[in-house]
A and B are shown apart, each in its own frame.
Chain A
Amino acid sequence: MSVANYFETMEYGPAPEADGEARAWLARHGATFGHFIAGKFTAPHAGKHLTTIEPATGKALARIAQGAAADVEAAVNAARSAQVAWAKLGGHGRARHLYALARMLQRHARLFAVLEAIDNGKPIRETRDLDVPLAARHFYYHAGWAQLQEREFADQVPIGVIGQIIPWNFPLLMLAWKIAPALAAGNTVALKPAEFTSLTALLFAELSVEAGLPPGVLNVVTGDGATGALLVESPVDKIAFTGSTEVGRLIRQTTAGTGKSLTLELGGKSPFIVFDDADIDGAVEGVVDAIWFNQGQVCCAGSRLLLQEGIAETFRRRLVRRMSTLRVGMPLDKAIDMGAVVAPVQLERIKTLVETGVKEGAEKYQTPGAMPAEGCFYPPTLLWNVHPSSTVATEEIFGPVLVAMTFRTPDEAVMLANNTRYGLAASVWSETIGLALDIAPKLLAGVVWVNATNLFDASVGFGGYRESGFGREGGREGMVEYLKPKAWSGRKARPKASPLPIASGASAGFDVPPIDRTAKLFIGGKQVRPDGNYSRAVLSPKGRRLGEAGEGNRKDIRNAVAAARATESWARATAHNRAQILYYLAENLSARSDEFVRRIADMTGVSSAKARTEVDASIERLFSYGAWADKFEGSVHTPPLRGVALAMHEPIGVVGVACPDEAPLLAFISLVAPLVAMGNRVVAVPSERHPLAATDFYQVLETSDVPAGVVNIVTGDRGELVKVLAEHDDVDALWVFGSQDASAAAERLSIGNLKRTLVDHGLALDWYDKAASEGPILMRHAVQVKNIWIPYGD
């Protein structure tokens, strides 16, 4: 077109970013790459390669190595060899390295941006303006944590060698999110990028050595899911995974019982809620950033549009108009809004799901403009008139497809927003501060954006609730994921329990007997008989019958979980109120301490003096959590925008707790109290052998104003009850202390709803050691961090 033609049409015309440097880099490597192990490219052991394509053209781009067992082993070994020296380098030394990596990223920013756009298909605008700058920011931020580590994380040590598996939607950014905190904390890494998009990871690894990173600290093994599976099974100390919920489940299952630490950042179906007092045009633009960012291939994409009925029609009209101006084109074109979907398989999935949506009654709107003829392109799409029961309302599409539905009231908005298995992110649009700040905490999601969407920063933790995974990336909470408590590192396996004593005759002849006292289960604030109506004898070490405890079964667990679920109000009780109740528990336990001393001495055979020590420690522990209840608070982040991000500590919900046999009262209190202090409701399974201290304790609960359903106690076969709790999809977390088998089972069976697990793998904890068993060390597992982003201004 000539100048005169453009003058008439006022079209934009092509505006391609040059790709010469990126192509030259590929050419220098003959477009064929090995793994990056111990500081250099290494040919794959089995000699196999995969071809990675350019999504925008469908043409082959490069060949990457397919990692086999030997390759993974070599990478993990290299990381292992480097780890001690890397940790010994100290915080300041590592800070210098991370700083150098940040600078390296900035020096080569355009090369990374162009290569990423070519390899992934996303627009150069996004790689240039978001992915690369955010990645660099992540390294700067974590250079800071390395610098401060000895002071700020004095009671923690690095975990060791970390296996990291990252997805194809933000290849470089996810690399940064994974390796920056891991390296900062003193770990070394074996990273597997996604097979569709491995190139920027290889470039990063190559340049990291030039930037002075010691060999073996960062290793990159490429390959498909099979390589990833090998990495999960390799002798790493932790797996950090970002990807699909389906694969996340497999990883949880595979790593169960191995002692490997795990963080999962999985899928989402995040709500985008617009109230009738919102800036509608602003929210329409928010939708563009929510679902037509990165072709909608964003785990936290606002993909469910929830509109208040009164504005729904106006919103639809304005959104459809806005869609008409979106431009889909070649990733390197600097005048587009959307590029190519990552691969044909993904394109097919999107098409199929949209067809299903239409078949199920949705009205379809799509951006009308032209798209490149070749390559994987799909237009921005709105499915209107979708109901919660539609497939497209529940399935994560992972494409540029928005589904819309309406609500009537704020309560209904919250209900619909939370009507999902996922819980990654949410957007709330309202110009009324009271409304927005009331809704945000009620949304079950790790990140909530108020009048905004898809904001990210290294200082603000990111991660999900529910089946969107667990663990956080970014912020202080993200650093903790790559550290472990010093106080737990010296734990030893529990000594094998002595065999159960043989019951001896109990008759006291013709003396006046004590009045029979039946220990019951404690569910929903009531003492109840076990559903099966069986009991088991509780014996002293010498075999004397001390009483009988109810034999709880799966129905008792079901009832206890229902009672706990029904007590949501505890989560909203004021911290002051929770503190008061914990103090009151301590007071009432103290009043009955003699009785508990006798009970513990009888059950466990310890001296009265020792039993008194346990009771006193239990009382003090309750006091501690009364103290913590209103002090283990969140924080206020100041990411680079005009606004704040509130990192709130929220209770996880309903938590199962299985207690060990040792210290039957103190361990029970030590596990239940932090959960209760933070607003969780608990279903506790006391020591199987010594349950009566816990059942005695329900009378303390009853007299201390603890609301019904906050603490439920089910005695019985610990292994069986743990299994039921682990498989229960309405239990949000499960803590298992006391045995390796139960720990492994809890992790393995938790995959139904991906509950958070805290287990001891059979390693004994000293319940009298406050550093190991009291305070933040446990409380951090009793909360999940929700970050609420609040940009402001008028």
Chain B
Amino acid sequence: MTQSVFIQNPIALTALPASPAGGDPHQLARNSGRALDMDWVDEIRINLSAAERRVASLPGRRTVKKDAQAAWLLKAITCIDLTTLNGDDTTERVKRLCAKAKAPVRGDLLERLGFAGRELHTGAVCVYHRFVGTAVEALAGSGIPVAAVSTGFPAGLIPHELKLKEIEASVRDGAKEIDIVITREHVLTGDWRALYAEVQDFRAVCDNAHLKTILATGDLKTLRNVAKASMVCMMAGADFIKTSTGKEGVNATLPVTLAMLRMIRVYQERTGFKIGFKPAGGISTAKDVLNYQFLMKEELGRDWLEPDLFRIGASSLLADIERQLEHHVTGHYSAFNRHPVG
């Protein structure tokens, strides 16, 4: 195996302080990327059936009940990238979403959960470039970063120069996180150098904003493609690897997640960098999100349950979590209309 010349071990940062509830998510050593090493790509083997068996048995091996479940769901809220990515988005719509991001759970419920007075907000708000400024303004002082989808989201087929300009514009408007889409053609044709170069360019113009690379795993089809693309993106400097735009036919799945998490682990073993993971699309129930959390904890460890390393791209998930939290507090099944919408 080729050893990375970039190996560094940010030991000082691995002992993660118990993070504030939804506090500053950007305190880890950033992935500096490294030279493309094709050995790291070529050696990747991933067996679909074995991956499926792993994720199929996990819900039977891990569960959380009662107080623990409430805590895990609250933690999940702090990892949500509360998202609106629709053609009919408007300024007011985005503002409403930002308000929800700042106050995701009813105060009386937080109180009864023992969270009175604690800051609890979502991990970020995720919008198109057009609404970055609006969101930054709406979230001012909350500590909630704004994430912008970029590079011709969701298909990613606009000219490369325009992609770079779009990122620059979003960063200028105050986006702290840029969710880019990769050119799927590079993966489907095995042109790993092109993928590496593209992501490296994106990273360069991100400046201090964190780079999330959306693989669009539903388009890549095989776990092998997903795993290889993950590794190349990390080598090119991704801070997060993300499954989907939410617009592909198939969005985040547990087998795809497993494949990506294993690549994050290998990358950390070799470089010391901790890369974040963001599943997006299709995670709409409390039960779903718990399974993702279990997988994060089992495959990568406790650190990956916090918003600096774990985000969930979701729009309707929060509402289901709110209902579950109310059920936990009251013992009664809840209804959507009892919780303010975002």
Contacts and interface: CB of A to CB of B under 8 A. Distances in A.
A125 B61 contact: yes
Contact of A10 (B47, B53, B297): B297
A335 B72 CA distance: 14
Q: Is the interface of B mostly helix, strand, loop or mixed?
A: helix
B49 interface: yes
Contacts of A431: 45, 47
B305 interface: yes
A11 B46 CA distance: 29
B252 interface: no
Interface in B70-93: 70-72, 74-75
A13 B65 contact: yes
Of the listed residues A3, A13, A793, the one surrounded by the most CB atoms of chain B closer than 10 A to its CB is A3
A6 B68 contact: yes
B74 A3 contact: yes
Contacts of B61: 125, 327, 335-337
B49 A7 contact: no
Interface stretch (A274-282, A349-357, A390-398, A746-754): A274-282
Contact of A281 (B48, B60, B262): B262
A280 B50 CA distance: 10
B115 A4 contact: yes
Given A279-B47, A642-B49, A11 B68 contact: yes
B67 A282 contact: no
Quick one: which of B21, B46, B222 has the most chain A CB within 10 A?
B46
A325 B71 contact: no
Contacts of B68: 1, 6, 11-13
Contacts of A327: 61
Contacts of A283: 50
Interface size class of A (residues with CB under 8 A): 35 or more
Nearest to B50: A282
A14 interface: yes
A451 B71 contact: no
A273 to B, nearest CB: 14
B63 A15 contact: yes
Contacts of B118: 4
Interface string B216-250: 00000011100000000000000000000000000
A282 B298 contact: no
Contacts of A5: 71
A643 B63 contact: no
A353 B133 CA distance: 67
A129 B60 contact: yes
A722 interface: no
Q: In this complex, which of B50, B54, B224, B302 has the most chain A Cβ atoms within 10 angstroms of its Cβ?
A: B50
B11 interface: no
A769 B130 CA distance: 89
A791 B49 contact: yes
B71 A6 contact: yes
Specify which of B18, B49, B65, B298 lies most central, judged by the most chain A CB atoms within 10 Å of its CB: B49
A8 interface: yes
Contacts of A286: 50
B50 A794 contact: no
B62 interface: yes
A528 interface: no
B64 A335 contact: yes
Interface in A304-347: 314, 325, 327, 334-337
A14 B51 contact: no
A452 interface: yes
Contacts of B305: 10
Q: Which of A4, A280, A337, A792 has the most CB of B within 10 A?
A: A4
A630 interface: no
B65 A15 contact: yes
A1 B69 CA distance: 12
B337 to A, nearest CB: 25
A666 B224 CA distance: 59
Contacts of A792: 48-49
A3 B70 contact: yes
B53 A285 contact: yes
Contacts of B1: 314
B332 interface: no
Interface in B119-146: none
A641 interface: yes
Given A3-B70, A12-B63, A452-B53, 7 more contacts: A3-B113, A15-B63, A15-B65, A129-B57, A334-B63, A792-B49, A793-B49
Interface of A: 1-8, 10-15, 125, 128-129, 277-283, 285-286, 289, 314, 325, 327, 334-337, 431, 451-452, 641-643, 791-794
23 contacts: A3-B113, A4-B114, A6-B68, A6-B71, A7-B115, A8-B18, A10-B72, A10-B297, A10-B302, A12-B62, A12-B64, A12-B68, A13-B65, A125-B61, A129-B57, A281-B262, A286-B50, A335-B63, A451-B50, A642-B49, A791-B50, A793-B48, A794-B224
Which 6 residue pairs are nearest across A and B when measured between Cβ atoms?
A13-B68, A282-B50, A6-B71, A791-B49, A793-B48, A125-B60
Interface of B: 1, 18, 21, 45-54, 57, 60-72, 74-75, 113-115, 118, 222-224, 262, 297-298, 302, 305
